[in-house]
Amino acid sequence: MSGSRAPKILSVKDQIAEQMRSDIISGDLAPNTKLNEKELAERFGLSRGPIRDVILQLTKEGLLVSKNNVGASVNSVLDPSLQKLMISLRRNIEVFAIEQLKEKLTEKDFAALEKILFDLQSAFEREDFTEVTKIDISFHNYLVHKAGGDDLVNIWYPFVMRMRLNYKRITSGVECVNEHETILNALRAGDTAKAVKGLKANIR
C-alpha cells in the first residue's frame, strides 16, 4: 500500500448529501424551505430515487423534516434549551473519545491531525469558510472515529449537524486553529485533562 492517504471514494449519494448539507448550513437553503424532489433530481442530474435516499438521510441527521405524502423541508433552529442539550451531548461524546484515545494515538495519527490543522489554516487564508467548516468537523471526526468507529460517528454526527444549523460561532482564523492546536498538543503530551478542557472551550 502506498503511503498516501486513501483518496476516499465517495458514492454519488454521499456527494449529493455533502452538497446539500453545505447548502443548508451555509444558509443558501433557508429554514422551512420546501424541497422538490424533481427539481433536485434535475439539478444534480440524476433521477428521484437517489435524491429520495439523500433526503431520508438528511432527515435522520436532523437537517430536514419530512412529512408523509407532503415532502421534506429544511428544519428550523432549535429552541435554546434543546440547543444547550445538544452541545452538552456532543461534548460528552468527544470527551469520551479523548479519554479512550489516551496512549492509543500513534505518530501516524498525530501526523494526520497535524495535516488537518494545516489545511484548516490554509482554508482560512483562502477565506473559504465552507471548507473551513468541513475541515473543522473532520478534525473532530478523526478523533471520534478513532475512538468508536463508524458506530460512534453515526451517533455523533447528528449533533454536529444540528449545532452547525442552529448556531454559527464567530471565530477568527487564528482562534480556531489555536483551539485545535491546543487540543492536539495536549493529546501529544498525554495530558487528557488539558485536552478535555481545550475541547470544551472549542465546542460551544
CB of 172 to a copy of itself, least distance (A): 31
**Cell triple for 42:** 434535475
Quick one: which H or E segment has residue 72? strand 71-74
Window contacting a copy of itself (CB under 8 A); options: 37-45, 57-65, 168-176, 188-196? 57-65
CB of 197 to a copy of itself, least distance (A): 20
- SS3 label, residue 27: coil
Query: Which amino acid, 79?
Result: D
Length of the chain: 204
Q: Is residue 81 a contact point for a copy of itself (CB under 8 A)?
A: yes
Find which of DNA, a copy of itself, none residue 151 binds, CB within 5 to 8 Å per kind.
a copy of itself
d(CA 148, CA 142): 10
Find which of a copy of itself, DNA, none residue 152 binds, CB within 5 to 8 Å per kind.
a copy of itself
Distance set, CA 67 to CA 49, 85, 127, 134 (Å): 17, 25, 37, 29
Q: Is residue 192 a contact point for a copy of itself (CB under 8 A)?
A: no
Judged by CB under 8 A, the number of residues near a copy of itself is 32
Quick one: which H or E segment has residue 193? helix 192-202
Window contacting a copy of itself (CB under 8 A); options: 32-40, 90-98, 114-122, 190-198? 90-98
Question: What value does the CA radius of gyration of the chain take, rounded to a whole number of Å?
Answer: 18
Answer for the pair 121, 135: CB distance below 8 angstroms, yes or no.
no
Comparison of 92 and 130: residue with beta carbon closer to a copy of itself: 92
CB of 38 to DNA, least distance (A): 6
Q: Which residues bind DNA (CB under 7 A)?
A: 11-13, 34-38, 46-50, 52-53, 66, 68-72
